[in-house]
Chain A
Amino acid sequence: MMNLLALLVDRAKPLTLRQVRQELGKQYPESDEAARAAFERDKAALREMGIPIETKTLGGDAAGEVTYWVNRSNYELSDLRLTEPERDALQLAVATVHLGAQHGEEALWKLGGERHLKKSSMSVNIGLVDQNMGTITDAVMKRRTLNFEYKGESRQVDPYGMLSRGGFWYIIGYDHLRRDQRVFRVDRIEGRVVAGEARAFKAPENFEVAAAVPTEKQMLAAGDGEITTATVLVDAALAPGVRREFGESFVVREREDGGVEFAIPCANLGAFRQWLFAMVESAEVLSPPEIRDQVVQWLEELATGA
């Protein structure tokens, strides 16, 4: 395989399989059929590695014969002239940010760098381990349309961008089924993703990935409930955390015992319930009465249901 590559790169002109076999001699089997099969295997493996083997079918006297060649400039990395400090910085980034996949290290080697073998005092985990991740990232980078099952429906999505936040990867794109922009969580895709042709669409101008995925705070407000805000008392132990999460503008009143009353969005009642009950007995809805009654009803169901 290495010799085939060397040959195709070294000989300036395209070669037919017959010529390749002449050059490589006994490296290919004697029988035409077996030699063809071995050659096809090698060719496929080299293409898989990112080496573009070009082909052309000849006309005239040699009609039907195919020639093969490799253009070095199509697969070789040009010298980026990275300095030592630049390589070191990339090395440290690769050592610190774990992807659960080796592509980072492989990129580093190609750039002439080395794996950082020392332990680092800090690390970040950004998982790329989902079975569909390779297909999806390739589609985003090359603007391919994706087809996948999501919440029991077949979706066709032009992936405008991707976001890693809070331990999850999101795809933001145009959903042909809904005819609107939608957000999908990669780990919630059902089954395999299939990608179409490259350059199938354009992302909107000045597309802001981070702004397209709602935060938890925005999720609480993103519902169709008629009541949009509830006053929630949070006890002293948990109040600082809620305050940091939502910010000063959500504070209604501070109590002497350290408890704080917050005005919390609740248009999305399901999300509100989950947020509220995470604090169990350390938080209480004070008003409006409709929401307070709803919370009491939920608790009564849980207390008797079990």
Chain B
Amino acid sequence: MATKKKSNSRRKAAKPKAGKSRRVKSRKTQKAGRKTAGRRSAKKPSTGRSRRGPRSAAQRVSGLLVMLPWIMQRKRVKISTMARQFNLSETELIEDLQMAAVCGVPPYTPDALIDVYMDNGMVIAEVPLVFSRPLKLSTAELFAVTVMAQAAMQLPGADKKGPLATALAKLAPLMPSGAETIKVQLPKTRFVKELLAAVNSGERQEIEYFSPATQKRTNRVITARKVFEDSGRWYVAADDHLSGEDRVFRVDRIESLAGTEIFDQLREVRDDELPWFSESLQQVTLRVQKSARWIVESYPYVSRVDNADSSVDVTMSITSTHWLGRLLVRAGNNVKVLKPSEFKSLKAQTAKAVLARYQAASPQA
């Protein structure tokens, strides 16, 4: 293998002295890593491994132990492709591969070294047997596979005998016995399948939609762009031809759906572009007692402060006064509006409005 590209001047030349191989270069600060996912709230910050700042030698080695078998299967891969694949900058990838290139087994003859070099934007590698097989999957990775596969099998169009199912069957012997009692349930909501088909065809759909903010049902025409599940609910991001804006609709509030036979050009919406809220939203700060913590858990918020008495001050964007009134009545004495002052009496007002119904009507009406 050492003969293949001898003439290449960019090849890492003489194999290094052993002493140098433990050196880890100081690193430039990386530009911001992956875009944060389009989460609708700050309540679940992504804790995926941050690529910012220097990585430890252990992180780099553990990355290499994954990358080397991977590149072995392919032999030649573009540097840019490989960097994207592993969430690394090209500089980081090159540095890591350079580190690998001085590794091997004493007495470090060429055939016992990892033979990896960069040529004309390509990574070319021959890896000695020691590094040619990937590591076993960790428990965390097996768990992730279980969860993702279960969720994927519940999606529209999933084939119970298809390649995903057979792949899982091959993975099954690796799973510890406890994996059998880990279950993922996605909400079963009608129209998800139809909306997904509409995303892929571009066909405009006429929907009847119930908005709890206004307590009204509207008929509108939408072009669906992405169907997604978050925190136990299905949503569709769409061009809303009624308002002329990009909107997110809750699929379980769609009462009816029909194709229009008008087709729009397909457009992809990234997770971080999802138009969760329209612009003109008001913010409100609530003090939430511990027993009404579901408010903090169920709705997106802008910021939160945990108080010493285990209450939480939470600032959130509200979609309508009606929506806030409903929230206040549901939480009762366990929530209080701190600001703005115009909403301080909203709970009482809303309660009075509901009470009026009980006072007006005789129950047997």
Contacts and interface: CB of A to CB of B under 8 A. Distances in A.
Dominant SS among interface residues on chain B: helix
A114 B46 contact: no
B228 to A, nearest CB: 4
B210 A241 contact: yes
A230 to B, nearest CB: 11
Nearest to A45: B58
Contact of A129 (B47, B144, B152, B186): B47
Given A110-B135, A126-B147, A240 B255 contact: yes
A122 B64 contact: no
Interface stretch (B65-73, B257-265, B276-284): B65-73
Contact of B45 (A121, A129, A142): A129
A132 B354 CA distance: 42
A285 B170 CA distance: 54
B176 interface: yes
Interface string B296-322: 011000000000000000000000001
B342 interface: no
Contacts of A125: 37, 39, 228-231
Contacts of A295: 358
A117 B84 CA distance: 8
Interface stretch (B2-10, B117-125, B324-332): B324-332
A246 interface: no
A246 B109 CA distance: 72
A23 to B, nearest CB: 5
A299 B354 contact: yes
Interface string A100-135: 111111110111101101010111111111000010
Interface residues of B, number: 122
A122 B226 contact: yes
B14 interface: no
A254 interface: no
Interface residues of A, number: 115
Interface string B80-92: 0000111100000
B144 A80 contact: no
Interface in A121-161: 121-129, 134, 137-138, 140-143, 160-161
A10 to B, nearest CB: 4
A86 B167 contact: yes
Contacts of A289: 363
A137 B142 CA distance: 10
Interface string A266-306: 00000001100110111010110100100110111111111
Interface stretch (A54-62, A176-184, A203-211): A203-211
Contact of B141 (A103, A126, A284): A103
Contacts of B351: 299-300, 302-303
A189 interface: no
B134 A77 contact: yes
Contact of A27 (B22, B142, B164, B229): B22
A252 interface: no
A193 interface: no
Contact of A93 (B65, B148, B330, B363): B148
Contacts of A27: 18-19, 21-22
A286 B79 CA distance: 70
A80 B134 CA distance: 11
A137 B140 contact: yes
A63 interface: no
Contacts of A87: 167
Nearest to A306: B348
A25 B139 CA distance: 36
A257 to B, nearest CB: 11
A140 B178 contact: yes
B13 interface: no
Contacts of B47: 100-101, 129
Given A6-B130, A25-B18, A90-B167, A129 B106 contact: no
B135 A3 contact: no
A237 interface: yes
12 contacts: A49-B58, A50-B135, A100-B37, A100-B46, A107-B144, A111-B137, A125-B229, A137-B140, A164-B185, A277-B326, A303-B352, A303-B355
Interface of A: 1-3, 5-7, 9-10, 23-27, 45-46, 48-51, 72, 75-77, 79-83, 85-90, 92-94, 96-107, 109-112, 114-115, 117, 119, 121-129, 134, 137-138, 140-143, 160-168, 187, 203, 207, 209-210, 237-238, 240-241, 244, 273-274, 277-278, 280-282, 284, 286-287, 289, 292, 295-296, 298-306
Given A124-B155, A137-B139, A237-B215, 15 more contacts: A75-B136, A82-B170, A100-B46, A102-B87, A103-B140, A106-B141, A121-B200, A121-B227, A123-B226, A124-B151, A141-B179, A162-B183, A240-B255, A241-B253, A284-B358
